[in-house]
Structure 1
Amino acid sequence: MRSNPSSFPERIELVGEGLVLRDWTEGDLGAMPALFDHPDVAYWTPIVSPFDDAAARARLDLVRRLRAEGTTILLAVTVDGGAPLGEVMVRRAPEGTEIGYVIGPAHRGQGLAARAVRVMAAYAFAELGVERVILELEAENAASVAVATKAGFTLLDVPLITGEEKGRPFALQTWGLERP
C-alpha cells in the first residue's frame, strides 16, 4: 500500500539483499563519529566535519525533522538490525527522488552501498510510487561511480549540477534507475 505522498511513516525498517535498513536511534549516537568523521566523508558529502558527539546529536535531530517534514528519510545501514555501518537516504527534490549513501570507512568493500541503494530504490518504487530514482555524484568519485553502476543506474544526459560546498566547487552528474 502506498504512503500518503506528503508524509512518511513514523517508523521504517526495510529488509533485503542481506541488509536491514532501520531508523537511527539514541543508541547509535556513539557509533556515528566513527562512520562520518573521515576525510572521504568530509570531502564528498555535505555532512559536517569534524563529526563529533555534538554533530551526532545534531544529525539525529535533523534525521527526525526531515522525516517529520516529509522530505527525506535517512536510515542506518545494518546487516542484522544492530550496529550501524553507514547511512542511506531517499529525498524528494525538484530534480527527482534522490538516493544518497555513506558507508563508514571500516565497512567499505563489502557491497553495502550498492545493496542499500537497491533496497531504498525498491522502497521508493513500491511505497512512494516514483517512476525513477536518481543519484547525484561527482565523476571523480570513483567509488560512487562504481556503486551507481553496481546498483543498475545509468548516467543521464542532463546538465551537471554545479555549486560550492565546504569551500570547494563541485559538479554533480545525475544517474538514474527506472521503475522495473
Structure 2
Amino acid sequence: MSSTSSPFPERIELRGEGLVLRDWTEADLAAMPDLFDDPDVAYWTPIVSPFDEAAARARLVRDRELRAEGTTILLAITTDGAAPLGEVMLRRAPEGTEIGYAVGPAHRGQGLAARAVRVMAAYAFEELGAEQVILELEAENAASVAVATKAGFGLLDVPLIEGEEKGRPFVLQTWGLSRAS
C-alpha cells in the first residue's frame, strides 16, 4: 500500500440507482459459480475459469487480502442486499482509480453494470477523493463499450494497453469519467 492511499473500510455497503453494492460473504460462495463460470466472463475478464466453489472461496480470500492492502474492493451487485447478481470492482492503480465489473448471465440486459459503475464512481469521487475513474476494456467487447457509454464515460486519448491473459492477447482502451462530469 502506498503512503498516499488510506485503507478501505472493513465493511462497505453502497446504495444508489436501485442497487445495493455489498461485501461478499461466505453465504455467497454457492451462488458465485452461476455468476462467473460463464464463457463471456472467462473471455473478457481475468476471473479464473472454470469457476467453481473452490475458485469462489479463493476469490473471497483474495478479496479480503486486497482490501486489507488498500488496493482493491470487490462488491456484490444486488438489488436488495440479498442475492448477488454480479460484481463491481474498484482498484487503486498507478494509472488511476479503475472500475471493473461482471454480471451473471441470467442478470444481463437490466442495466446492472452501468448502474453499479456509476454508484462505484460516486464512491470514488466522494469518499476517496478521486479526480477521475477509468474503465479498461477491449473495443470488441460491445457490451462493455455500451456500459461505459451508458455510465457517462468517454474514450480517453491515451496509449492502448497491450497484454496477454489466459493465453489470449488483448488490447485495452481506457475510458474515463471525471469528477467534474
Deviation at 1:6, TM superposition (A): 2.1
**In 2, Cα distance between equivalents of 1:130 and 1:51:** 32
| 2:32 aligned partner | 32
TM-score, normalised on structure 1? Answer: 0.97
Identity %: 85
Whole-Å separation in 2 of the counterparts to 1:77 and 1:5: 25
Structure 2 counterpart SS, 1:159: coil
Provide the residue aligned with 1:80 in structure 2. 80
Report 1:1-180 matches (<5 A): 5-180=5-180
Q: How far 1:5 moved relative to its partner? A: 3.2
| Alignment gaps of 5+ in structure 1 | none
TM-superposed CA distance for 1:147, in Å, is: 0.1
Q: Cα deviation per residue 1:90-147 (whole Å; 9 max; x = unaligned)?
A: 1000110000000000000000000000000000000000100000000000000000
Q: Which residue identity does 1:161 align to in structure 2?
A: I
Three-state SS of the structure 1 residue aligned to 2:134 is strand
SS in 2 for 1:99: strand
In structure 1, how many angstroms separate the alpha carbons of the residues matched to 2:134 and 2:81? Answer: 26
Q: Distance in 2 between matches of 1:21 and 1:52?
A: 22
SS in 1 for 2:136: strand
| 3-state DSSP of counterpart to 1:114 | helix
**How many aligned positions are there?**
177
Q: Which amino acid aligns with 2:76?
A: A
Aligned-residue Cα RMSD (Å) equals: 0.8
* 1:46 partner SS: coil
TM superposition shift of 1:38? 0.4
CA distance in 2, matches of 1:103, 1:38: 10
Matched residue of 1:87: which SS? strand
Query: What's the CA shift for 1:17?
Result: 0.1
TM-score normalised over the length of structure 2: 0.97
Whole-Å separation in 1 of the counterparts to 2:175 and 2:5? 23
Q: Which amino acid aligns with 1:168?
A: R
CA–CA distance in structure 1, aligned partners of residues 139 and 30 of structure 2: 32
- In the TM superposition, residue 49 of structure 1 has moved relative to its aligned partner by 0.3
Amino acid at match of 1:7: P
- What is the rounded CA distance, in whole Å, between the counterparts of 2:124 and 2:28 in structure 1? 25
Counterpart AA for 1:118: R
Query: Cα deviations across residues 22-76 of structure 1 (Å, max 9, x unaligned)?
Result: 0000000000000000000000000000000110000000111100000000000
Q: d(CA) in 2 for partners of 1:6 and 1:172? A: 28
- Structure 1 residue ranges, 4+ long, deviating more than 4 angstroms after superposition: none
Give the partner amino acid of 2:95: E
Partner of 2:133, secondary structure, is strand
